[in-house]
Amino acid sequence: MSEVAGDLGTGRASVGAVLDFAWDAGVFTATDAMAQTSLTRSTAIEAIDTLVSLGVLHELPNAREAGSYRSGRPARRFTLASDLGVVVGMDAGDTHLAVTVADPLERTLVHHRTDLDPTHSPDERRAVILAQLQQALDEAGASPDAVLAICVGVAAPVNRDGVSPPHPLGFWERTNPQLAHALTGLAPVVEVKNDALLAAVAEGSDPRGAAIGCRDYVALLAGERFGGGVVVDGQLLHGAHGGVGEGVVFDHIIGVGSAFGLGPALQTRVREALAEGEIPAEGPTGQLAAARRIDPRAVLDLAASGDPDAALVVDRVGRTLARIVGVLGSMYDPAKVIICGAVAESIEPVLAAARGILPAQLHLPAPELVASALGAEVVSLGAVATARRAARERAVPQRAVQRLAAR
């Protein structure tokens, strides 16, 4: 239960306890609330009535009015108000922007995904993000005061104030163009987070997540660049500047040499193998190199179908991945390393190659290496989950306190 929730009703924690219970309860009665909160009947009813009067709970028709009454006094029924507001989750990657407007419980109201121009200045990028946010809110029919919480994932380390440290080439300042400041005032709670950290949130909270029930794991965003969201003993690791899991470390690892992800690695290995005469130019894999940009999925599909040239490339990328996972395993001792992002849906041939040599990369037991089932939306899902948690623990209790004070 949040501290703010405990302040409801002139300091009575009973109101906060009932509010916390209501988020997961669906339709409930006072008896249900008593059983889960250990409150007496009179205290539970008083707390429920307070929340109803504040517009946080809605009272539903009783059993008789709903047509299910059989005998005895019909119980009053309640549920969390459906008009509490909306939450927003955004994935502001280097070259894409996804905006999701959702209710605080489970429904997605609007989801947009569009390209971002990586040559934009920070000011231009910020303007596009704010415009796309407003467009999504307008489409959802959400008024400005309906927004409870906003969470944005960016491809940069982010400290606890939503600020990214300076980057030698200005990349972090561009991918996080002072978004925390720009979004202040648009919602009671605004959070800017590293995208890999939000991927870790999604893997541990979404019903399809690979880390459900796991307390020690790394969610490794591995498409264009490597970045890890790290969970140890059930806690997300952050760091002084939000840099835990930052991929720049792989620039300095022998056998890896770059923070670029599995997509670029597959392209590079195809061109290297072709240049060294290890695969023929006329073969299916060699022909891919004629394109300006090699589609990594095409290489993976060829490997999965048994093409020996693609298998050679995939084996080499698998060795690189094994080295990366070995470093993560030695640093954080995870039970699982989850490969996340759009590349995950076709990455199994690389994972199979990596698993064969992974145990030799570290002295600890090797982590389980798996592909995410959450696809390209993994960061968006984590952002929405984080915004929902902020609405539950902070925004809705704060609004209830404000309404109580305004009586």
**Predicted confidence pLDDT, tens digits, the chain (407 residues):** 444 444 554 446 888 899 999 999 999 999 999 999 999 999 999 999 999 999 999 999 875 555 555 555 678 999 999 899 999 999 999 999 999 999 999 999 999 999 999 999 999 999 999 999 999 999 999 998 999 999 999 999 999 999 999 998 889 999 999 999 999 999 999 999 999 999 999 999 999 999 999 999 999 999 888 999 999 999 999 999 999 999 888 887 877 877 789 999 999 999 999 999 999 999 999 999 988 899 999 999 999 999 999 999 999 999 999 999 999 999 999 999 999 999 999 999 999 999 999 999 999 999 999 999 999 999 999 999 999 999 999 999 988 888 877 77
Q: Is 155 helix (H, G, I), strand (E, B) or coil?
A: coil
Q: Three-state SS for 235?
A: strand
Q: Are residues 229 and 300 in the same domain?
A: yes
Please name the residue that has the structure tokens 């060795």. Answer: 319
CB 383 within 8 A of CB 91: yes
pLDDT at 6: 45
Say whether both 172 and 289 belong to one domain: no
Q: Same structural domain for residues 224 and 315?
A: yes
Q: Which domain does 283 fall in, by range?
A: 217-373
Q: Looking at this protein, which amino acid is placed at residue 270?
A: V
Domain boundary among 82, 102, 123: 82
**CATH number of the domain to which 23 belongs:** 1.10.10.10
Output the domain CATH number for residue 255.
Answer: 3.30.420.40
pTM: 0.91
* Residue 155 and residue 140 in one domain: yes
CA of residue 261 relative to chain centroid, distance: 19
**Pair 114, 138 in one domain:** yes
Q: Which residue has the tokens 């979004």?
A: 183
Does residue 285 belong to any structural domain of this protein?
Answer: yes
Under 8 Å CB-to-CB from 253, ≥6 apart: which residues?
323, 324, 327
Judgement on whether residues 242 and 386 belong to the same structural domain of the protein: no
The number of domains in the chain is 3
Please tell me whether residues 122 and 191 are part of one structural domain.
Answer: yes
Q: How far is CA 16 from CA 25, 189, 394, in A?
A: 14, 19, 11
Count Cβ atoms within 10 A of the Cβ of residue 301 and give its class: 0-12 exposed, 13-18 middle, 19 or more buried: middle
Question: Considering only CA atoms, which of 330, 393, 385 is closest in space to residue 363?
Answer: 330
In this structure, the answer to whether residues 68 and 116 fall within a common structural domain is: no
Do residues 64 and 105 share a domain?
no
The CA radius of gyration of the chain, in Å to the nearest whole number, is 25
Contacts 24+ apart (CB under 8 A), 20-26: 20/392, 22/51, 22/56, 22/57, 22/78, 22/79, 22/80, 23/80, 23/105, 23/392, 25/79, 25/80, 26/79
**Is 206 domain-assigned?**
no
pLDDT for the residue numbered 254: 79
211 falls within a domain: no
